[in-house]
Structure 1
């Protein structure tokens, strides 16, 4: 049992690194095409890979159409988040977006309280606020004057809106889930994303222009499709069965540290030293959430989906 839990933690760490890499890859792609084209390409490629797995199994194939109306709603928030991400990275950094992304659990909790009437433990609120404080430190690079004036650049503001959309995605997923096979729902969300991005391209008069992607950009898109989309969905769904959603979601606070590490590895240069305290605070939030979730869910029942 301990080996299974340790393996699950290792897989979540891998998924966290894949997500962190998506911020860096997206930053490099943001200037190549408009965000609707990039998001549509990401979804189309993911559908091409995932659809045969579902379509070849009659029991799964029969569940696609019943799930599509709900998947369309969920996919609106999901695809809009990626549009905000690509647009934001034109004027902000991968590290800043990773830091802002750590605000998603707090936003999700607030929206769940307002929409679903869910209660939230006070201890968890304090941990979310601690993570938010770490995020603010990274975003403002420890500059107190900017924190007090809430001086955000355009990209930060856009991605803050994206974080709200991701929180809405999480709440809509919980509200609209009907025991669908997860792979069917994921395929439905990807198909819905293709629909919404096609509508967005038609409404804005843009064209896909995917031929503008050079070889390097194509590899970066392949990473987003295989690693950051399909790979993370598989890893998170596999590990959530063992660890529970709270312990898996706690790893979101490692995103700034992961982006900082990967930025050095891929040659983007060192991060500002003043961001390190904020990264450390965010990592502390992960540790505290892990301890809280572990004490709430007995290790002897790893397959439960409760907190």
Structure 2
């Protein structure tokens, strides 16, 4: 690690910490205080307003060439992705969700093969199979006594990782033409009509006067910390550090998530979690390594 990039690596470590805590923060408020889909409506509305305030004078968009891609990015990266993630985390355990999310780089490869016709390599196929075996170990619970998560929530988190991988592939050409903040403000704006029909009832039912300070601070953490600050830190770090290095920091999320979930909710890291995490890490490593 070059000393002049130490601050960039520190920024990415902070991103990992913020994301790792995010799993437990979501569980603090959903579904007991807020319905997951209603929370997403709040997140997208406020985040869109903040991104527009930050990037009000950003460059114009070539709508004829890129309008459809922006909407698809909003659909996969904001709409389906966030709805599945929040609902999934509200149903399953924070540890389960954080381990499953490390499949994201593998999902990026799958979507690159489908959308960009990226070359298929046997090593990567083997990595995918190993990674999905690890995910299956988390989702599959042979007895009702195992209360480490809910398989429905686990499947939603897997779907979230898949749609986020699709978004990363779709957004790549846009980031080559426009600044990331320009893309963010339009993607979140277009994400509003995607999440609103699904989350409107949950949003309308939010008992704002009855919410305590913990809920409000948790909402602020998710919207400002995990949405805006994380996005800006990632952009800043990628100016000096390769995207693959940024992506590699996803592996610190389960560490932070496990520590925080153990303290906040008493969640236990079982032998099955450890085996699943090892398989996922090995599988994703085979997929993303260049040689």
- Which TM class, normalised by the smaller chain length? 0.7 to 0.9
SS of 1:119 mapped into structure 2: coil
Residue 73 of structure 1 is matched in structure 2 by 72
- Does the 8 Å CA contact 2:258/2:269 hold for their aligned counterparts? no
Q: Deviation string for 1:263-305 (max 9, x for gaps)? A: 23x4322523412344455566788889x46xx8xxxxxxxxx
Residue 8 of structure 2 is matched in structure 1 by 8
Written as runs of structure 1 = structure 2, the 5 A alignment for 1:1-307 is 2-31=2-31, 32-55=33-56, 58=57, 60=58, 62-63=59-60, 66=63, 69-78=68-77, 79-127=79-127, 130-137=130-137, 153-174=151-172, 176-177=174-175, 179-201=177-199, 207=204, 209=206, 211=208, 213-264=211-262, 266-269=263-266, 271-274=268-271, 275-280=273-278, 292=289
- Does the 8 Å CA contact 1:87/1:155 hold for their aligned counterparts? yes
CA–CA separation in structure 1 for the residues paired with 2:124 and 2:90: 34
CA–CA separation in structure 1 for the residues paired with 2:220 and 2:261: 19
Which structure 2 residue ranges, 5 or more long, are not aligned? none
More contact order relative to length (CA 8 Å, sep ≥ 6):
2
Residue 299 of structure 1 is matched in structure 2 by none
CA–CA separation in structure 1 for the residues paired with 2:264 and 2:232: 29
CA–CA separation in structure 2 for the residues paired with 1:280 and 1:81: 25
Deviation at 1:196, TM superposition (A): 1.6
Q: Deviation string for 1:34-85 (max 9, x for gaps)? A: 3332111112222333322212xx4x1x426846653322111122111112
CA–CA separation in structure 2 for the residues paired with 1:271 and 1:93: 10
- Does the 8 Å CA contact 1:77/1:169 hold for their aligned counterparts? yes
Residue 300 of structure 1 is matched in structure 2 by none
CA–CA separation in structure 2 for the residues paired with 1:166 and 1:103: 10
Deviation at 1:21, TM superposition (A): 1.4
- Does the 8 Å CA contact 2:34/2:202 hold for their aligned counterparts? no
Q: Deviation string for 1:154-208 (max 9, x for gaps)? A: 2112222222221221222125555111111111111122222223345x69626
- Does the 8 Å CA contact 1:100/1:160 hold for their aligned counterparts? yes
CA–CA separation in structure 1 for the residues paired with 2:202 and 2:249: 39
**RMSD of Structure 2 on Structure 1 (CA):** 3.2
CA–CA separation in structure 1 for the residues paired with 2:52 and 2:44: 11
SS of 2:265 mapped into structure 1: coil
Residue 302 of structure 1 is matched in structure 2 by none
Which structure 1 residue ranges, 5 or more long, are not aligned? 297-307
Between 1:20-29 and 1:62-71, the stretch displaced more is: 62-71
Number of aligned pairs?
Answer: 281
Between 1:208-217 and 1:40-49, the stretch displaced more is: 208-217
Q: Deviation string for 1:95-127 (max 9, x for gaps)? A: 111121122222221121022101255545555
